[in-house]
Amino acid sequence: MSPFIFGRRAIRSLSAASVEDAAGGRSLWRDARNRFLRNRAAVASLAVLVLLLVFALFGDLFAAWSNEEIDWALLGNVAEEGAPSLANGHYFGVDELGRDLFARTVQGTRISLMVGILGALISMVVGTLYGAVAGYFGGRVDSVMMRIVDVMMAIPYMFVLILFMVVFGRSILILFVGIGLISWLDMARIARGQTLSIKKREYVEAAVAIGVRPARIILRHVIPNLLGVIVVYATLLVPSMIIYESFISFLGLGVQEPDTSWGALINDGASQMQYGTLWQLLFPLFFFVVTLFALFFLGDGLRDALDPKDR
């Protein structure tokens, strides 16, 4: 679903962005940090995300109930008595089975964030290596490797991913592997585009001249210089990973009970909304929307900070 968020044009402009040398005296990263800190929306987003991380990691400690436990006192009259309340320990209310929504939201946040971050990491590692190798060797290697990417891009991957989940059983591991497998394609294109311009640099030439092997040149000279653009794109990948996962869980094909994720929670809440138990929809929805907003602003801030074209 990355085209939802990231048009081809944006990708192209990222892959065309030239990598500039650090200005004498101040380092590239320090400059970037200064620019980033001046962007208030991005800093606020970072704060929101830190809070969210704390919520995901330590929310359990404040929960009065576990995410599987059924509050038998409320089962059957969820609509009347299951609403959010501090008195009975259900801060976010309970779901249609009388399970504590606070504990479930903590758990869902954990899974959604984990999928987002790990998925982006997988795609970053695979995509960068793939793109850097294709770009560095060029010629036939490049055209074969990029043709493979083209072919894979022409496949409606969500269908294939669901097929994957059906065949190998629905588990978080398979979800990671599946999402990781399809998400590196754009990353590979960006990395390749950047590598094409990096490999003409003097320092790469010098490394070739003194006989450094290609694998070492790619790892030591090419990839570190790709990092700025890659980090920006990876930040923007996190929300798309979260959307992928929520999409699949919304359809009931993702994580399995008693585990949950934002997509599954939104689906549960949506199926119950005609009974007036709106908290079941609105809490997960709020977390989802706020997180995505924060991630997009963070990504934009990082792009402004790290994109050398903007200087």
Partner 1 sequence: MIYFLLKRLAVAVPTLLILIVVSYVLMYAAPGGPFDTERTLPPEVMANLQHKYGLDQPLAVQIWRYVVSIVTEFDFGPSFQYTDQSVNDIIEQGFPVTLTYGGWSFLVAVLVGVSLGIAAAVHHNTLLDYLSVGVSIGAQVLPNFVLAPILTLIFTLWLAWLPGGGWQGGHWPYVIMPVIALSTSFMASIARITRSSMLEVLNADFIRTARAKGLPMWRIVFRHALKPALLPVISYLGPAFVGMITGSVVIDVFFATGGIGQFFVNSALNRDYPVIMGITILAGGLTILFNTVVDLLYAWIDPRIRY
Near partner 1 by CB under 8 A: residue from 158, 174, 208, 231: 158
Least separation in angstroms between residue 106's CB and partner 1 is 20
Q: Are the beta carbons of 130 and 144 closer than 8 angstroms?
A: no
65 or 157: CB nearest partner 1: 157
Least separation in angstroms between residue 303's CB and partner 1 is 14
42 or 281: CB nearest partner 1: 281
Least separation in angstroms between residue 297's CB and partner 1 is 9
136 or 297: CB nearest partner 1: 297
126 or 158: CB nearest partner 1: 158
Near partner 1 by CB under 8 A: residue from 87, 151, 173, 210: 151
Q: Are the beta carbons of 188 and 148 closer than 8 angstroms?
A: no
**169 lies in the site for partner 1, by CB under 8 A:** yes
**8 lies in the site for partner 1, by CB under 8 A:** yes
70 or 285: CB nearest partner 1: 285
**40 lies in the site for partner 1, by CB under 8 A:** no
202-224 as b/e: b if 16+ CB within 10 A: eebeebeeeeeeeeebbeebbbe
49 or 218: CB nearest partner 1: 49
Least separation in angstroms between residue 21's CB and partner 1 is 27
Q: What would the x/- binding string for partner 1 be over residues 246 to 265, using CB under 8 A?
A: xx--xxxx---------x--
Per residue, the 3-state secondary structure of the chain, as one string, reads CHHHHCCHHHHHHHHHCCCCCCCCCCCHHHHHHHHHHHCHHHHHHHHHHHHHHHHHHHHHHHCCCCCCCECCCCCCCHHHHCCCCCCCCCCCCECCCCEEHHHHHHHHHHHHHHHHHHHHHHHHHHHHHHHHHHHHHCHHHHHHHHHHHHHHHCCCHHHHHHHHHHHHCCCHHHHHHHHHHHHHHHHHHHHHHHHHHHCCCHHHHHHHHCCCCHHHHHHHHHHHHHHHHHHHHHHHHHHHHHHHHHHHHHCCCCCCCCCCCHHHHHHHHHHHHHHCCCHHHHHHHHHHHHHHHHHHHHHHHHHHHHCHHHC
**163 lies in the site for partner 1, by CB under 8 A:** yes
Sort 113 into a burial class: Cβ within 10 Å, 0-12 / 13-18 / 19+: buried
Near partner 1 by CB under 8 A: residue from 42, 46, 165, 218: 165
Binders of partner 1 among residues 271 to 310 (CB under 8 A) are: 273-274, 278, 281, 285, 288-289, 292-293, 296
Number of residues that bind partner 1 (CB under 8 A): 48
* Structure tokens, 250: 């919304």
Least separation in angstroms between residue 43's CB and partner 1 is 18
**114 lies in the site for partner 1, by CB under 8 A:** no
137 or 293: CB nearest partner 1: 293
229 or 266: CB nearest partner 1: 266
**Rounded distance between C-alpha atoms, residue 234 and residue 184, angstroms:** 10
16 or 163: CB nearest partner 1: 163
**Contact residues: partner 1, CB under 8 A:** 1-5, 7-9, 147, 150-151, 154-156, 158-160, 162-169, 239, 243, 246-247, 250-253, 263, 266-267, 269-270, 273-274, 278, 281, 285, 288-289, 292-293, 296
